[in-house]
């Protein structure tokens, strides 16, 4: 049985005609940079999320950097975030000369623990970046309450959570700025790199648009230092085809996750927790398991793809050694890095796939 962690080709086959037509239209127009599809896609995403402004950019990583640049974050500033996330979250903080200040996670959701945030705030704190990890919304209400009380902007890292919601509101519409990735493996993925920043603040949106275009509103006139961060017209055209299918895609992932839960009943594994009021979209289906490395090796022998997101927390990464992080600083995170394993999840999984995968997990623990 051939299994894939993410089946982007299988998904493409269902919408091949629409995608091919969209690509052909862009090719015929010759408008490969800033074609009309980019603006149309921005409007459609803004409408989907219920926000006033959306600015397309080249990647989810750029989205984070653009958001922080627009908020004026730079050397000497501090940004509070989680040590249990993809490196881009903290990498962009460091690139701007600011310092990532980590807060440990909730052991059930893997997201930043809002109860620990206020103690981490200092006079140098310039933003809080919660990550909606694996497609599970962070616990935003208490986090936003702390942020408001201390007048600290909130940048939502929704790279893994496009379409997720918290108490009926889409992630990215809750904080000051929302940052999205359209990397091919995401729930809404393009055929390359792509990203977006969204906000309800018109002035901030304009600032982010200028930064993404070399700091320029008018060609060859540059107001600020910016980036070359544009979403290609081809990618925007592809994403416009896929956006109307996003709810269907997320529903398919939730259905697969529910079936996984059923098939794993009785095993010594902890299936994903879904927080009350959260609409988890299962970008990853992540278990906590004993003997994680042994299970990973066994699945590899069976030809079953899997992922460990993430094996080393950010405070222990060599790239952040200057921060002085040491083992034991964030025990909940460190334990998670030793126990998590993600099984294949995508829109093309069949019940036969799920039974084979879970049967193999069951065989290992037998």
Residue showing tokens 């390359």: 192
Check if the beta carbon of residue 215 is closer than 8 Å to that of residue 224: yes
Let me know if the fold of 8-243 is the same as that of 245-365: no
CA 84 distance to own-chain centroid: 12
Check if the beta carbon of residue 127 is closer than 8 Å to that of residue 68: yes
For residue range 199-256, list pLDDT tens digits in order: 999 999 999 999 999 999 999 999 999 999 999 999 999 999 999 999 999 999 999 9
Give 13's contacts (C-beta < 8 A, 6+ positions apart): none
Q: Which CATH number fits domain 8-243: 3.40.640.10, 3.60.15.10, 3.40.50.2300, 3.90.550.10?
A: 3.40.640.10
What is the token pair recorded at 284? 């990853």
Q: What pLDDT shows up at residue 306?
A: 98
Distance, CA of 263 to CA of 267 (rounded, Å): 9
pLDDT over 70 for what percent of the chain?
100
Distance, CA of 111 to CA of 141 (rounded, Å): 13
Residue showing tokens 């017209």: 233
Taking the model in full, what pTM does it have?
A: 0.97
pLDDT band per the 50, 70, 90 thresholds, residue 281: very high
Pick from 58, 69, 123, 71: nearest CA to 96: 69
Largest CA distance in the chain: 67
For residue range 29-42, list pLDDT tens digits in order: 999 999 999 999 99
Mean pLDDT, residues 114-133: 98
Question: What value does the mean pLDDT of the chain take?
Answer: 97
For residue range 326-360, list pLDDT tens digits in order: 999 999 999 999 999 999 999 999 999 999 999 99
Q: Does domain 245-365 have CATH number 3.30.420.40?
A: no
- Phi first, then psi, for residue 31 (nearest 5°) are -95, 80
Distance, CA of 176 to CA of 127 (rounded, Å): 10
pLDDT band per the 50, 70, 90 thresholds, residue 322: confident
Domain boundaries, the chain: 8-243, 245-365
Distance, CA of 32 to CA of 234 (rounded, Å): 7
For residue range 282-316, list pLDDT tens digits in order: 999 999 999 999 999 999 999 999 999 999 999 99
């Amino acid at each position: 049985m051939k299994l894939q962690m993410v089946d982007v080709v299988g998904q493409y086959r269902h919408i091949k005609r629409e995608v091919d037509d969209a690509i052909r239209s862009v090719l015929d127009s010759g408008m490969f940079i800033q074609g009309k599809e980019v603006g149309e896609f921005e409007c459609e995403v803004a409408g989907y999320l219920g926000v006033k402004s959306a600015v397309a950019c080249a990647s989810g990583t750029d989205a984070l950097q653009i958001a922080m640049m627009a908020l004026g974050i730079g050397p000497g500033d501090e940004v509070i975030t989680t040590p249990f996330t993809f490196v881009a979250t903290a990498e962009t903080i460091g690139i701007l000369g600011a310092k990532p200040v980590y807060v440990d996670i909730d052991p059930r959701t893997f997201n930043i623990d809002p109860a620990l945030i206020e103690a981490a705030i200092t006079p140098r704190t310039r933003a809080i970046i919660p990550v909606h990890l694996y497609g599970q919304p962070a616990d935003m209400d208490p986090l936003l309450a702390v942020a408001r009380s201390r007048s600290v902007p909130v940048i939502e890292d929704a790279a893994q959570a496009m379409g997720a919601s918290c108490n009926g509101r889409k992630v990215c519409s809750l904080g000051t700025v929302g940052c999205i990735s359209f990397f091919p493996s995401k729930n809404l993925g393009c055929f390359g790199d792509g990203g977006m920043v969204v906000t309800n603040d018109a002035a901030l949106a304009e600032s982010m648009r200028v930064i993404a275009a070399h700091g320029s509103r008018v060609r060859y006139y540059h107001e600020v230092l910016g980036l070359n961060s544009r979403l290609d017209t081809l990618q925007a055209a592809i994403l416009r085809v896929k956006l109307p299918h996003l709810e269907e895609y997320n529903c398919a992932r939730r259905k697969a996750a529910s079936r996984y839960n059923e098939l794993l009943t009785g095993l010594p594994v902890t299936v994903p927790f879904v927080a009350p009021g959260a609409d988890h979209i299962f970008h990853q289906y992540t278990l906590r398991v004993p003997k994680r490395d042994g299970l990973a090796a066994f699945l590899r022998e069976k030809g079953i793809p899997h992922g460990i997101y993430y094996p080393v927390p950010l405070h222990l990464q060599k790239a952040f050694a200057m921060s002085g992080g040491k083992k034991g600083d964030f025990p909940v995170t460190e334990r998670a890095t030793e126990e998590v394993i993600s099984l294949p999840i995508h829109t093309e999984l069949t019940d036969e796939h799920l039974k084979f995968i879970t049967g193999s997990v069951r065989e290992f623990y037998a």
